[in-house]
Amino acid sequence: MIYDLIIVGSGSVGAAAGYYATEAGLSVLMIDSAHPPHNQGTHHGESRLIRHAYGEGERYVPLVLRAQTLWDELEQRAGERIMHRSGVLNLAPIQSSFIQNVIDSATQWQLNIEVMQPDEVRKRWPQINVPDGYLGVFEPQSGYLKCEQAVRSWIQLAEQAGCAQLFNCPVSQIGREGDLQQVTTIDGIYRGRKMLISAGTWVGKLVPDLPVAPTRKVFAWYQADGRYSENNKFPGFTVEMPDGSQFYGFPADNNALKVGRHDGGQLMQQPEDRKPFGTVAADGSEAFGFLRQFYLASVSVFMAKPAATISARTKILLSTPCQANPIGC
Ligand SMILES: Cc1cc2nc3c(=O)[nH]c(=O)nc-3n(C[C@H](O)[C@H](O)[C@H](O)COP(=O)(O)OP(=O)(O)OC[C@H]3O[C@@H](n4cnc5c(N)ncnc54)[C@H](O)[C@@H]3O)c2cc1C
């Protein structure tokens, strides 16, 4: 059989593409080396922030708003809760270009934000200890997504729509046969008129010339009581520290507050470099300075969730600094 489209890698991007392409009437084959969602993908780790007012620049806003529409649509079609409108609070020194971009992009696209002085932030969320000289920008319409649930739902919807799916089947080679795309797997060779390569972190193994830099990133869960929960209106957050380092996090779920560092990480050459959480000395402690400075003592005890604390980010090196994901953390 010759497919209209073969998708190599069925994680966040590939699973969504498989669903929408099948819905559009194409004959589609989705392939993955594992069975998404799984703990080796970039989609691993329960949750992802979605921000609308965008510190990386207003040019991303139309993409993010379109993505939000599709997330809401997915939630409806799947009948599962995927989007949590907890709101996101961005905190940064007043002179930060990031926070200025958040404000500018909201102004340009008429997004609903609240610009807050440190005392206003402290009054609204006494759990957060914001230093003077900072600015808070809260956007109530954004929040976070249940990323693994989203991948699961797309795959299920794609299958129901008639999409062929081949999982636990690595693609070892891609090539062409005349006008057709050819995909070689341990299961045999498949052919399609078009091919989408959405293989995430190790896409360079299939397309060696792509300028990607796989980076090991970790996040961790910290013990926190109900004051930090979404029920108590505690938001998702991004924080720029006085030294420029950046942290992000989510409202506590089951008394565990998830926090990650946005910058930094360790460059990886091979999949073996994706070492378990705790292998790098800073893994468990990199957020301590941030937690001490921005939170009251109640968030202090590190709670490892060993199976769910490492993920790998693919940095795409473009001429302008830009993360791979336009709806990024
Ligand atoms: C620590 C961290 C925090 C993040 N925070 C946020 C956030 O807050 N908000 C946000 O929007 N984004 C965030 N991101 C980014 C977001 O998670 C990714 O952009 C997104 O998951 C990328 O999806 P993908 O489909 O490219 O990769 P993946 O979801 O990893 O999918 C790639 C798939 O390809 C498969 N594959 C690879 N090689 C082969 C092969 N040879 N043959 C067959 N299959 C193959 C893999 O098994 C995998 O399932 C974060 C990422 C990380 C790592």
Pocket of ligand 1 (CB under 6 A): 8-14, 31-34, 36, 40-43, 48-50, 170-171, 198-202, 206, 217, 219, 260, 311-313, 324-325, 327-329
Q: Whose CA is closest to atom 7 on ligand 1?
A: 329
pLDDT for res 148: 96
As a whole number, mean pLDDT of residues 288-298 equals 77
Q: How far is residue 44 CA from its own chain's centroid?
A: 9
Residues 6+ apart with CB under 8 A from 328: 49, 56
C-alpha 242 to ligand 1 mean position (Å): 30
pLDDT category of residue 266 using cuts at 50, 70 and 90: very high
As a whole number, mean pLDDT of residues 111-139 equals 96
CB 291 within 8 A of CB 285: no
CB 165 within 8 A of CB 156: no
CB 50 within 8 A of CB 144: yes
C-alpha 44 to ligand 1 mean position (Å): 8
Q: Whose CA is closest to atom 5 on ligand 1?
A: 329
C-alpha 224 to ligand 1 mean position (Å): 28
Q: Whose CA is closest to atom 53 on ligand 1?
A: 313
Place of tokens 């084959």: 29
- SS3 of 216-258: the string is EEEEEEEECCHHHEHHHCCCEEEEECCCCCEEEECCEECCEEE
* pTM for this entry: 0.92
pLDDT for res 309: 42
As a whole number, mean pLDDT of residues 212-236 equals 91
What value does the CA radius of gyration of the chain take, rounded to a whole number of Å? 21
As a whole number, mean pLDDT of residues 112-133 equals 96
Q: Whose CA is closest to atom 26 on ligand 1?
A: 200
Gap between the Cα atoms of 56 and 9, Å rounded: 27
As a whole number, mean pLDDT of residues 87-96 equals 98
pLDDT tens for each residue of 128-146? 999 999 999 999 999 999 9
pLDDT tens for each residue of 158-180? 999 999 999 999 999 999 999 99
CB 101 within 8 A of CB 58: yes
Q: Between the CA of residue 94 and those of 81, 91, 98, what are the distances in Å? A: 36, 9, 10
